[in-house]
């Protein structure tokens, strides 16, 4: 048959060539992907058919022509692109305890170990100094135990109390409080009246019921 066989009319990616009864369809992206994934090269006749159909498809389909241009420019098929690296799951975040609940926990620990709330709530006007002093030893020992078990404390200032210290400009006003005659701007030089304390670690027990923290001392019923 002479070539070309007749006028060419393109419509919706279908090519009609004169008296040819069977239309030649443009190769789809799926067909191109199959060819790309197939390790066996196509035969000569298959390549001729692919070249002819691609030629008319490029003329009649601008989008297909752009895809061919990208392939000729070196862009890889989607199947050839490396799979995206797996995204690591975020590390689990420890459940935070509200400040109010933490304060109730501490108060409950002081009550359990030192009877702190009982001592403070007691009206001591009817007791002698000796009685109060004896009770204070118990409270002091219990409070000291709570601090040692659940907190790590360290002094804010390393100097000995009573020594002369100089506070340079930009000192941490949240950690050091000035007293006495405060005039002008830093640097300040004065006497260390208290070393201060800061908490460097907290070890409060994990709560199973945050609402129960409000009960700092259970009522006792003897049977």
Least confident window among 2-11, 40-49, 89-98: 2-11
pLDDT averaged over every residue in the chain: 80
| 144 or 20: which leads in pLDDT | 144
Q: Judge whether 167 and 158 are in contact, CB under 8 Å.
A: no
112, part of any domain: yes
Residues 173 and 115 occupy one common structural domain = no
* Predicted pLDDT of residue 22: 46
Q: What pLDDT score does 177 carry? A: 95
Stated as kind and residue range, the H or E segment containing 151 is strand 151-155
209, pLDDT greater than 80: yes
Q: Which of 60-64, 117-121, 191-195 has the lowest mean pLDDT?
A: 60-64
State whether 68 and 110 are in the same domain: no
Q: Please check whether residue 80 is in contact with residue 36, taking contact to mean a CB–CB distance below 8 angstroms.
A: yes
**β-bridge mates for residue 10, sequence order:** 15
* Contacts for 193 with CB less than 8 Å, ≥ 6 apart: 161, 162, 179
Q: Rounded mean pLDDT of 116-140?
A: 94
Domain of residue 125, residue span: 96-150+206-223
At 4 the pLDDT is 45
Residues 145 and 183 in one domain: no
Let me know whether 54 and 117 are in one domain.
Answer: no
Residue 3 lies in a domain: no
Judge if 217 and 144 occupy the same domain. yes
Last residue of a domain, one of 39, 54, 80: 80
């Amino acid at each position: 048959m002479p070539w070309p066989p007749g006028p060419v009319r393109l419509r919706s990616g279908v090519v009609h060539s004169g008296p040819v009864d069977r239309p030649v369809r443009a190769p789809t992206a799926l067909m191109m992907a199959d060819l790309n994934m197939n390790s066996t090269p196509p035969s000569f006749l298959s390549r001729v058919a692919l070249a002819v159909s691609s030629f008319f498809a490029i003329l009649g389909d601008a989008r297909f022509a752009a895809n061919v241009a990208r392939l000729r420019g070196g862009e890889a098929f989607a199947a050839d692109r490396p799979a995206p690296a797996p995204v690591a799951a975020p590390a689990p975040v420890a459940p935070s305890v509200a400040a109010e609940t933490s304060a109730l926990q501490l108060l409950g620990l002081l009550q359990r170990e030192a009877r702190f709330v009982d001592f403070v709530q007691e009206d001591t006007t009817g007791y002698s100094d000796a009685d109060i002093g004896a009770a204070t030893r118990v409270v002091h020992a219990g409070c000291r135990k709570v601090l040692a078990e659940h907190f790590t404390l360290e002094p804010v200032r390393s100097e000995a109390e009573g020594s002369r210290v100089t506070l340079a400009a930009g000192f941490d006003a949240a950690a050091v409080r000035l007293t006495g005659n405060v005039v002008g701007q830093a640097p300040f030089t004065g006497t260390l009246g208290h070393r201060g304390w800061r908490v460097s670690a907290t070890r409060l027990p994990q709560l199973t019921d945050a609402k129960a923290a409000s009960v700092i001392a259970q009522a006792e019923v003897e049977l």
